[in-house]
Chains A and B, each alone.
Chain A
Amino acid sequence: MTLVAEEVRIDVPVSGAPRRGVVSRVFGRLGNGFVQVLLALVAVFWLVPVFGLLIASLRDESANTASGWWTVFTKPAELTLANYAELVANHAVWQSFLNTFYIAVPATILVVVMASLASYALSWIEFPGRETLTVVVVGLLVMPIQVALIPVAKLFGAFGLFGTITGVVLFHVAFGLPFAIFLLRNFFAGIPRDLIEAARMDGATEWVIFKRVVLPVAKPAIASLTIFQFLWVWNDMLVALVFADQDSAPITVALRAQLRQFGTNIDLLATGAFLSMIVPLAVFLLFQKYFVQGVLAGSTK
């Protein structure tokens, strides 16, 4: 993503008596206190379902089906850690937790590496048909995963990738690339041209420019990409269900195997959701600091 539009005409009416609409007046008056309260409300609004899920994970299935989660305020005795204890005691769940790392970490790294390489070429190396290639690659973003299952199955079958972590990783890489390239190409293209050319003048090869100038400058975009690519792979069930075997199954598949045939299974789902949420949240906290600071500040002018 081009973080900043290259040229924006800032044309703000100079004070005097600016025509101010209702919205503008309201917005202008939004004191800090008001913003605090508003955002706090929004946060609560967002948290309520998550909180409900948390409570659901702390009650057994019959309690969950008998009454809504808010009844725990009157009946706190219903709370139990049994759901967690059961999952934590399950060896298969732990194995799958590891498997999820084996799948998500390489799939994320490969996507980030391949997409940044490709995006660099698509934004800073000129070659015939570059524009068309960009559009085609980004156009693949539209491809729904389920369409690819059968053809990819044929391919994996032929190469013996069925039931392997490699296969699952490759699939995720392929379907992560279009978005990653879309995102990074936009960002790379927004890097000031002088910065790239300065590096060229300084004697840097394309590879060095990519590694030592573009990558560090693109940290915010790469951090956001990392977060979401990791998240998507982490939460995938369909691809793993089809292409992984029992020994390489990730946590989503393992949790799914715990479900009862009938019922909302909210106790299991909620517990599983909270257990498997920890890692993505940690990744978020780890990487989000990279896009809080503006990296491009001070590069030019």
Chain B
Amino acid sequence: MTAVALRDVSLVYPGGTVAVKDVSLSVADGEFVVLLGPSGCGKSSILRMVAGLQRPSSGHVVLGGVEADDVPARSRGVSMVFQDFALYPHLTVADNIGFPLDVGGCARDERAERIAEVASAFDIGDLLSRRPAELSGGQRQRAAMARAIVRGPRVLLMDEPLSNLDAVLRSGLRAEIVSLARSLGLTVLYVTHDQIEAQTMADRIAVLRDGVLEDEGQPDEVYRHPATMHVAAFLGSPRMSLLKAYVQVVVDSHVALHIGGQSVDLPWPDMRARAVAHYDGEDIAVGARTEALRPAAAGASGPVLTGQVRHLEHHGHETLVSVDVGASGVEACGLHELRTGELVLRVRPDVRPVHGEHVGVHLCLEQLHFFDLANGRRIGPRGRRR
């Protein structure tokens, strides 16, 4: 059953700014869906429309199969955890948690019981008499979640609930939130700009950019077969390298991709070669994650690009090596920081390339991604159903 559905929802602000554009999305009962995107992409607006805090300019929000446009926030059976927690400063933790119950006209005994129940679930049982000002960030977060859940909502909305916490707390809470949602059978719509959160928590990811839903699917599907260059660039760490390539079709042999002064051949048997061949004489974007790259001897044969080591990043268990292969880079999402075309290579920590050294990079052709430069779409036969 579909718990939440957006049908061609758009949101246009009075000034004419389009925050959300024709977004359709459905969330199944009990599903954990993460709305992912850079800030200002419209994900929070979508959340607020589902919450009933914002009315769509057009389209409909459907809750439990009923159009909910005229249902006020308080009657939607939807709870929300705010980015800054929005705890009531004048109330104790217990009263904060109890607030939705009071409002709903909950009996006294039941109220106390449920507060205790939720508080222990979030491990804040001994903080109940404190005020928000006396809590740490993590404790406030838990209190906010407890308040959201106490009423037993069917849908829980979370707006970057972890962004105000430090890294250690975050990773702990990620798992906790997921398991809690599972155990309660909650439908969760979770907004974040952190792709790691998205990858680790979501049953399904929906990636937004400039108010448009660019891709959606299971996390690893989206990771492995991103629908657009922007989605590709947004997911994964380190980020996908995107290089500009000139396509030249060599009939009966292969499709040559000229990257900088070098070239890589895509043999015809590769399913994608035919699709890429449509771009004969044009530029496309070639995307490569680190797992598609292996170190090789400089000038080695095969799909190898040679370049100079520009930058080294030691991570202890591995080292990331930026190699300048003389290609020009492609910007995506405005956050692709590789300006000149560099490839990021992952090497064992004991391998110690020297800055400026010439190295070869072997490309695993199957794992390369090709994108249309004009519209950012993926080139090639669909790797999955869309």
Task: Indicate which residue in A195, A208, A213, A298 contacts B135 across the interface (CB closer than 8 Å).
Answer: A298
**Alpha-carbon distance between A219 and B91 when the two chains are bound, in angstroms:** 13
Q: Is the CB of A201 within 8 A of B73?
A: yes
Q: Is the CB of B88 within 8 A of A203?
A: no
Q: Is B80 located at the chain interface by the 8 A CB criterion?
A: yes
Task: Indicate which residue in A197, A202, A203, A297 contacts B53 across the interface (CB closer than 8 Å).
Answer: A197
**Alpha-carbon distance between A200 and B48 when the two chains are bound, in angstroms:** 12
Chain B residue at minimum C-beta to C-beta distance from A201: B80
Which A residues are CB-close (under 8 A) to B262? Answer: none
**Alpha-carbon distance between A298 and B133 when the two chains are bound, in angstroms:** 4
**Alpha-carbon distance between A193 and B104 when the two chains are bound, in angstroms:** 22
Q: Is A192 located at the chain interface by the 8 A CB criterion?
A: yes
Interface size, A (range): 20 to 34
Task: Indicate which residue in B78, B89, B147 contacts A299 across the interface (CB closer than 8 Å).
Answer: B89
Q: Is A19 located at the chain interface by the 8 A CB criterion?
A: no
Instruction: State which residues 193-243 of A face B: CB under 8 Å.
Output: 194-195, 197-205, 208, 212-213, 216-217, 219
**Alpha-carbon distance between A298 and B52 when the two chains are bound, in angstroms:** 26
Q: Is A296 located at the chain interface by the 8 A CB criterion?
A: yes
Task: Indicate which residue in B51, B104, B134 contacts A201 across the interface (CB closer than 8 Å).
Answer: B51
**Alpha-carbon distance between A197 and B51 when the two chains are bound, in angstroms:** 9
Q: Is the CB of B73 within 8 A of A300?
A: no
Task: Indicate which residue in A208, A212, A219, A299 contacts B87 across the interface (CB closer than 8 Å).
Answer: A299
Task: Indicate which residue in B99, B104, B133 contacts A199 across the interface (CB closer than 8 Å).
Answer: B99
CB distance from A296 to the nearest CB of B (A): 6
Q: Is B85 located at the chain interface by the 8 A CB criterion?
A: yes
Chain B residue at minimum C-beta to C-beta distance from A219: B90
Which A residues are CB-close (under 8 A) to B79? Answer: 201-202
Chain B 28-49 interface 0/1 with A at a Cβ cutoff of 8 Å (1 = within): 0000000000000000000010
Q: Is the CB of B74 within 8 A of A202?
A: yes
Q: Is the CB of A198 within 8 A of B74?
A: no
Interface centre among B48, B51, B80 (most CB of A within 10 A): B80
CB distance from B56 to the nearest CB of A (A): 15
Q: Is A155 located at the chain interface by the 8 A CB criterion?
A: no
Q: A201-B74, A201-B79 are in contact. List 15 more A-B contacts (CB 8 A).
A: A192-B84, A197-B48, A198-B88, A199-B103, A200-B53, A200-B73, A201-B53, A201-B80, A202-B79, A203-B100, A204-B99, A204-B100, A205-B74, A216-B91, A301-B85
Shortest 3 CB-CB contacts between residues of A and residues of B: A298-B133, A299-B89, A194-B86
Interchain Cβ contacts under 8 Å between A and B, 14 examples = A194-B82, A195-B86, A197-B73, A197-B80, A198-B147, A199-B88, A200-B52, A200-B73, A201-B157, A202-B100, A204-B74, A205-B103, A297-B89, A301-B140
